[in-house]
Amino acid sequence: MGFMKTIVRNVENKDNKEAIREAAGLLREGKLVAFPTETVYGLGGSGWMEEAASRIYEAKGRPSDNPLILHIGSMEMIDEIASCVPGPAKKAMDAFWPGPLTVILPKSDKVPYRVTGGLDSVAVRMPSHPAALALLREAGVPVAAPSANTSGRPSPTKAEHVVEDLDGKIPMVLDGGKVEVGVESTIVDFTGEVPVILRPGKITKDELEKALSTEVLMSTLSVKEDTVPRAPGMKYKHYAPKAQLVLILGEDREKVAEEITKRVRDCREQGMKTGVIATEETMGGYDADEVISVGSRSHMETVTANLYDVLREFDHRDVDVIFSEGFEGEEYEEAVMNRLVKAAGHQMIRV
Ligand code: TXA
Ligand code: MG
C-alpha cells in the first residue's frame, strides 16, 4: 500500500459539519475514515463495498475471516442488513440503541461475505456518539468498522492512538477527544434459541436480562481454547504488552498489595524494570519503577475509560514486567477482566 497523507479533523465542537461532510464523501467512495464512538475509535468503510472491507483488513493487518461490525445511524437500515430481527433482538435494540450494544442477526443477501468473514450472520450496532451518528446519517450507508488499531494492539481511545497505529495508511481521522466508555461494545448473539453474550462490555448481563425479561447466557469460549469460537475474533492472538503482564487476584485487597510488593522487590533485585497497574485507592502504596493508576474502584467507569491508554503507556515506558491488580465483580469488572486476562496471556496468581 502506498503512503498517503492522513488528515486529522477535529469534531469535538458542534461546528463540525464541514469535516463530517468530507468524511462521509470519502466513505461513499469506498475510502476509509477513523471516527470516534462512545466505546473506542472505529476504522470505517462502506458496508456495501467489498473493496472497502478489503482496505480495512489491509490497514489493520487483520485476518480477513474476522468479521466486521456494521454501524448504522437510523433504524430503517436494519431491514436492509438483516434477513430477520427476532423479538428479543428488537427489544434489546429498543432498550440500548443508540449505545454500546452490538447484536448478531441473520444477514441479508445485500451484505457482502467479505464484511461478515464468510458467515451468514452479521453484527450491527448504532453508536451514541454525536459525531459518529452525524457521520453515519450523512454517509447514508452502513459503515463497517472494527476498532481503529493495528491488529494485536490495544483499541484506540484517543485520536492520538489511531495516528500512532494508522498514520500514512488512511486518508482521514476524525478527532473527538477521549472516548467515554473505553472498552468495546457488548456483543450479543441473537441467532440461536437463547441470547448469548459473546463479548462483555458496558451493558451487563443483568441489564440485558431485565430489558429482555428472559435469560441471557455468558459465553465462556473467550477463555477456552479447545472449542470452536462463536465470535471469530476470539481465536486470534490478542493484545499483549511488550512486557510480561501478571494479574494478582484476591478478595483481600491488602494481601494483593503485599503480594505485588513482594514480587516487585524480587524482580528489582534481579535487575528488572518493574511496573504496577494500580488504582486510585492503592497507588501510593507501591514502590515499583513505574506505577500508573488505571482509575478508581469506587467508580469503575474510570477504569474502563483508562484501561487501553494505560496499557499503551506501559509500552512506551519500557518496563520488563507489569503486575496488575485484578477486578472482580459482575458489572464493569467483567469487561475489564476480559481484556486484562487476554493481555496477560492468562497469567494469573490468586492470593
Ligand atoms: O465497540 C465496538 O464494538 C467497536 C466500535 C468501533 O464500534 N468495534 C469493535 O470492532 O470492537 P472489532 O472488529 O474490533 O470487534 C468485533 C468483534 C470481533 O470479535 C468479531 O469476531 C465479532 O465482533 N463479530 C463480528 N461479526 C460477527 C458475527 N457475525 N458473529 C460473531 N461474532 C462477530
Ligand atoms: Mg478490535
DSSP codes of every residue in 257-322: HHHHHHHHHHHHHTT--EEEEE-TTTGGG--SSEEEE--BTTBHHHHHHHHHHHHHHHHHHT-SEE
For residues 29 and 172, is the Cβ–Cβ distance under 8 A? no
Closest residue CA from atom 19 of ligand 1 = 233
C-alpha to C-alpha distance for 223 and 234, rounded to whole angstroms? 9
Considering the domain architecture, whether residues 254 and 209 belong to the same structural domain is answered as: no
Are residues 89 and 174 both part of a single domain?
Answer: yes
139 shares a domain with 61:
yes
Closest approach atom of ligand 1 to CA 127: 7
Cα 140 to the center of its chain, rounded Å: 24
Q: 149 C-alpha to center of ligand 2: Å?
A: 7
Distance in Å, CA 230 to ligand 1 centroid:
11
Residue 3 CB burial class (10 angstroms; 0-12, 13-18, ≥19): exposed
* Total number of domains constituting the chain: 2
Q: How far is the CA of 146 from the centre of ligand 2 (A)?
A: 6
User: 14: Cβ–Cβ under 8 A, 6 or more apart, which residues?
Assistant: none
Q: Are residues 129 and 17 in the same domain?
A: yes
Give the pLDDT of residue 253: 92
Q: Which ligand is nearest to the CA of 145?
A: 1
In a domain, 239, yes or no: no
Measured CA to CA in angstroms, residue 298 lies from 210, 230, 280, 303, 351 at distances of 24, 33, 9, 10, 22
81, 116: one domain: yes
Q: How many helices (H) and strands (E) does the chain have?
A: 11, 16
Rounded distance from Cα 248 to ligand 1 centre (Å): 29
Which residue CA neighbors atom 25 of ligand 1 most closely? Answer: 67
Backbone angles phi, psi at 40, to 5 degrees: -145, 170
Ligand 1 center to residue 201 CA distance, Å? Answer: 12
Domain that holds residue 169: 7-218
185 and 254 in a single domain? The answer is no
Residues framing ligand 1 (Cβ under 6 A)? 37, 39-40, 42, 66-69, 102, 104, 116, 119, 121-123, 125, 127, 145-147, 184-185, 187, 198, 230-233
In a 10 Å sphere around its CB, with 0-12 CB exposed, 13-18 middle and 19+ buried, how is residue 298 labelled? exposed
Backbone angles phi, psi at 350, to 5 degrees: -105, 130
Alpha-carbon separation of residue 341 from 25, 41, 144, 335 (angstroms): 40, 22, 27, 10
Listed as ranges, residues in the chain with pLDDT below 50 are 222-229
The atom number, within ligand 1, closest to the CA of 191 reads: 30
How high is the pLDDT of residue 224? Answer: 37
Structural Rg of the chain based on CA atoms = 20
CA distances from 306 to 6, 24, 143, 301, 312 (A): 26, 29, 26, 9, 10
Instruction: Determine the pLDDT at residue 13.
Output: 86
Please tell me the pTM assigned to this model: 0.94
In this predicted structure, what is the pLDDT of residue 226? 38
The verdict on residue 130 lying in a domain is yes
Q: Are residues 38 and 187 in the same domain?
A: yes
Instruction: Give yes or no for a contact between 149 and 156, defined as CB atoms under 8 angstroms apart.
Output: yes
Residue 181 alpha carbon, nearest atom of ligand 1: 1
In a domain, 238, yes or no: no
Q: Are residues 157 and 275 in the same domain?
A: no
pLDDT at 117: 95
Of 201, 71, 55, 77, the closest CA to residue 123 belongs to 71
Whether 192 and 252 map to the same domain: the answer is no
Most informative mutation of 187, 191, 222 for ligand 1 (most atoms within 8 A of CB): 187
Are 268 and 155 in a shared domain?
no
- Regarding whether 115 and 63 lie in a shared domain, the answer is yes
- Pairing verdict, β 69-71 and 143-144: antiparallel
CATH classification at residue 99? 3.90.870.10
Do 256 and 328 fall into the same domain? yes
